[in-house]
Amino acid sequence: MWRVLKFGGSSVASATSMSRVLDIVGAQAREEGVVLVASAISGATDALLRIADGDSTPLDELEKRHFAIVERLFTGGEKAALTARIRELFAEMEAAPAAEKVTYGEILSTTILCEKLRTEGWNAVWLDSRRLVVKDDLPETYRRIRAAIPDGADICVAPGFICCTSAGEVSTLGRGGSDYSAALYAAALDASSLQIWTDVPGIMTADPRRVPSARTIPVMSYSSALDMASHGAKVLYAPTIAPAMEKGLDIEIRNTFAPEGKFTRICATPDADAWIGVSVFGESLRVTGSSPDAALKAIPVLRDALVEAGIAATGIEADGGSLNVTLRPGVVEQGLRAIHRALFQTGSITSIPVFIAGYGAVGKALEAMILNTRQSVAARCGKSINIVGIAEHAGDYIDEFCRNAPKGTVFVDCTDSESIWREFDKLFRAGVSVVSSNRRSLAIPYVDYAALHASARENGVFFRYETTVGAALPMLESISRGANSLDEILSIEAVVSCTLNQILSEYVPGRQSFARCVRQAQAVGLTEQDPRLDLGGKDALRKLLILSREAGVHLEESEVQITPLIPQRLFNVPLDSFYDELEAMEGGFEAAYRHASENGCRLRFVSSLERIGDGYRAGIRIREVAQEHPAYHLKGTENAIIIRSSLKPYPLVIQGPGEGAAQAASSLLNDILR
Ligand code: ASP
Ligand code: MG
């Protein structure tokens, strides 16, 4: 049995490359007979065509390259003899009719290879393809090749590309035709294997010189290979496929420069994927596919991908399972990459499993947002979020969840549980990250807070909760960015209680009482179930703890001085009488309001952290803020935070919407993706 190994021009371009070829051939010849088909050394065919055109400039260089190879590969008498032979071949070429000059490239390269194999001790025989390969006559070609193989040869070396016509004139099989020569030798001999050795790792999803992320197609059908090869893919000469297919011969496309690396096998298999590869075909692109159904469905997808890349396709047409994409001139490379990305880089999208705990307004908004943004998130970040489970509430499912959660899962705490944080360590140890919108699970003693962070770090997972303060505003991130650069916090003023901002910005004495404003806020669901929690500063306290700790200050609840809006006794009465009592306090609220107005100020509920000597002072109270203060202009549920720090000459102010399920969902989504 014979194996046919074909090596292209770059595989035989130098002495070093030729040595590689000889190693590959030698290893295989120890197992079976080898027919080695070779191209001319790279550039030789072009040079010879110019010479045939009457331009003799490339001749010198061409001779030098061949002599240099001989110089490097041979010694002594063998070198002298081969040098003389090469000189003769050049003389023959110069004397030959113009049309025949081009055939000498392959004659030269194979003469050198054959000689070298002989010096290595192989019984190597040179076959003259000019007599054996008859253009357009397969039966005759096969007959002649079979008859030409001498008994006892280990290796036959045959020039690719060149042939004769039925009339006996020397001719060629067309540019790139050496692949076809190899297929003819293989088909004639019923070879056990046909290997096309080139300078790329097989047929790839796109030309790797144009699309660096192109990858090898391990197995493909004859028809897909034919589709690619006949629509611009340079790696294989299209006519090569027919003789192999007829004989049921597999074609392997291998890389001379990484012989053990990835390669492509072309055979009678059905294609594994709907999309095979993209090639450049003139000013248009050929997207080779194997399913007419998938091709039709892909048209709008490709159109979008091109628009996204700033390219308008002038036409996309299905042709069987493949597509022809016509582009306006000048954007072919960009279009190629955009389409390759759309069809082949989906595999590089990381999937993030997400579990949503707490199915209230925020949990529901997050679910909807994940589903709605799936495509754009994949395109923008190369990530795809998969909801693997949703739980109505915090509950006792966490142990079970930890046992089954795939690594990299993100647990999203959208509950308002005060105790769910006790499960976080377990989640971290199971390789699960936590993203939270639940302030209660953060406003915990500092030691517990620090332990959670340490555990997340040790387990290589993350614990993020940007949503807990100022909803979608990047408050925590801004603080921790400062902390990373040792930008020491001098003070933080945070106006982050949506409820109180709403109430205080609505309240105008005489128009409606303060108590009414509170009632209204409760009616629209802005307050906690019991609005006194807001008025007492509990919610602001939690947020201040989170903010301060993000700044590296180990603040505890007990260290925060809260001046509640209402006296302590109002906390202990039923809600109805609370409102009556609040109504009765209207005089006090009005006085505070008037005092502020007279000073050109407004009332705001401000949480603050201030550097005093070596320590910090934290407080929450109603303050009069003047017109220059960023909080003066806050409206409704707007939030603001003003950070003064050592590296910043002016305070950093972040202001914007502080509330809303969609805001919270968007912030959670970003914590998941970050
Ligand atoms: N040497 C020829 C060419 O450059 C044939 C081949 O390399 O396949 O077209
Ligand atoms: Mg080639």
Give 313-361 pLDDT, tens digit per residue: 789 999 999 999 999 888 999 999 999 988 887 656 788 999 999 999 9
CB atoms within 10 A of CB 648: 12
Question: Averaged over 261-267, what is the pLDDT?
Answer: 96
Output the CA 44–ligand 2 centroid distance in Å.
12
Kindly give the number of the ligand 1 atom that is closest to the alpha carbon of 178. Answer: 8
The response to whether residue 177 sits with its C-beta less than 6 Å from ligand 1 reads yes
Output the CA 214–ligand 1 centroid distance in Å.
24
Q: How many CA atoms lie within 13 A of 73 on its CB side?
A: 31
Return the pLDDT at 273. Answer: 87
Return the pLDDT at 305. Answer: 87
The response to whether residue 176 sits with its C-beta less than 6 Å from ligand 1 reads yes
The response to whether residue 470 sits with its C-beta less than 6 Å from ligand 1 reads no
Q: Which ligand is nearest to the CA of 175?
A: 1
The response to whether residue 160 sits with its C-beta less than 6 Å from ligand 1 reads yes
Give the residue from 158, 113, 164 showing the smallest Cα distance to 134.
164
Asked if residues 172 and 163 have their Cβ atoms less than 8 Å apart, the reply is yes
Return the pLDDT at 346. Answer: 62
Q: Which ligand is nearest to the CA of 229?
A: 2
Kindly report the protein residue whose alpha carbon is nearest to atom 6 of ligand 1: 176
Output the CA 284–ligand 2 centroid distance in Å.
22
- List phi, psi (to 5°) of 657: -60, 130
Q: How far is the CA of 291 from the CAs of 204, 221, 224, 459, in angstroms?
A: 19, 13, 11, 45
Distance, CA of 674 to CA of 223 (rounded, Å):
43
Q: How many CA atoms lie within 13 A of 442 on its CB side?
A: 30
Q: pLDDT digit string (tens) for 203-229?
A: 999 999 999 889 999 999 999 999 999
Angle at 456 between CA 452 and CA 457, to 5 degrees: 120
Q: pLDDT digit string (tens) for 91-124?
A: 999 999 999 999 999 999 999 999 999 999 999 9
In DSSP notation, 492-509 reads EEEE--HHHHHHHHH--T
Q: Which residues of 290-303 are buried (b: 16+ CB within 10 A; e: fewer)?
A: bbeebbeebeeebe
Kindly report the protein residue whose alpha carbon is nearest to atom 8 of ligand 1: 176
Q: Which ligand is nearest to the CA of 39?
A: 1
Give the residue from 188, 51, 29, 41 showing the smallest Cα distance to 121.
29
Distance, CA of 490 to CA of 646 (rounded, Å):
7
599: tokens are 């000073």
For residue 39, the SS3 value is coil
Q: How many CA atoms lie within 13 A of 668 on its CB side?
A: 32
Kindly give the number of the ligand 1 atom that is closest to the alpha carbon of 174. Answer: 9
Asked if residues 357 and 415 have their Cβ atoms less than 8 Å apart, the reply is yes
**Amino acid at residue number 230:** S
Q: pLDDT digit string (tens) for 625-636?
A: 999 999 999 998
pLDDT at residue 545 above 80? Answer: yes
The response to whether residue 202 sits with its C-beta less than 6 Å from ligand 1 reads no
489: tokens are 């916090």
Question: Averaged over 586-598, what is the pLDDT?
Answer: 96
Confidence of residue 406 (pLDDT cuts 50, 70, 90): confident
Asked if residues 565 and 501 have their Cβ atoms less than 8 Å apart, the reply is no
**Amino acid at residue number 59:** L
Confidence of residue 381 (pLDDT cuts 50, 70, 90): confident
Asked if residues 273 and 41 have their Cβ atoms less than 8 Å apart, the reply is no
Distance, CA of 353 to CA of 104 (rounded, Å):
62
Kindly give the number of the ligand 1 atom that is closest to the alpha carbon of 46. Answer: 4
Output the CA 618–ligand 1 centroid distance in Å.
80
Output the CA 238–ligand 1 centroid distance in Å.
13
Angle at 394 between CA 359 and CA 371, to 5 degrees: 30
pLDDT at residue 304 above 90? Answer: no
Asked if residues 10 and 198 have their Cβ atoms less than 8 Å apart, the reply is yes
Provide the phi-psi class of 361: left if phi over 0, else alpha when psi is between -120 and 50, else beta: alpha
**Amino acid at residue number 290:** S
Q: Where are the alpha helices (DSSP H) in 345-474?
A: 361-381, 398-404, 424-429, 446-458
**Amino acid at residue number 365:** A
Mean pLDDT is lowest, of 192-201, 393-402, 408-417, for: 393-402
244 Cβ contact list (under 8 Å, min separation 6): 183, 186, 187, 194, 222, 250, 251, 266
Altogether, the residues listed in the chain come to a count of 674
- List phi, psi (to 5°) of 197: -95, 125
Q: How far is the CA of 609 from the CAs of 109, 555, 617, 643, in angstroms?
A: 81, 10, 6, 10
Return the pLDDT at 347. Answer: 57
Asked if residues 76 and 1 have their Cβ atoms less than 8 Å apart, the reply is no
Q: pLDDT digit string (tens) for 44-86?
A: 999 999 999 999 999 999 999 999 999 999 999 999 999 999 9
For residue 527, the SS3 value is coil
Select the more confidently predicted residue: 263 or 395: 263
Mutate to test the pocket of ligand 1, among 39, 102, 185, 236 (most ligand atoms within 8 A of CB): 39
pLDDT above 70 covers a percentage of the chain that reads 99
The response to whether residue 8 sits with its C-beta less than 6 Å from ligand 1 reads yes
Distance, CA of 555 to CA of 617 (rounded, Å):
9
pLDDT at residue 573 above 70? Answer: yes
For residue 325, list its beta bridge partners.
285, 316
Q: Write the secondary structure of 16-74 as one string of H (helix), E (strand) and C (coil).
A: HHHHHHHHHHHHHHCCCEEEEEECCCCCHHHHHHHHHCCCCHHHHHHHHHHHHHHHHHC
Asked if residues 470 and 496 have their Cβ atoms less than 8 Å apart, the reply is yes
Regarding beta strands 652-657 and 638-645, do their DSSP bridges make them parallel or antiparallel, or are they unpaired? Answer: antiparallel
Q: How many CA atoms lie within 13 A of 120 on its CB side?
A: 19
Asked if residues 439 and 449 have their Cβ atoms less than 8 Å apart, the reply is no
> Is the Cα torsion angle 537, 540, 546, 548 positive or negative in sign?
negative
- Element housing 119 (H / E): helix 104-119
How far apart are the two ends of the chain, measured CA to CA in Å? Answer: 59
Rg (CA), the chain: 39
Name the average pLDDT for the chain: 94
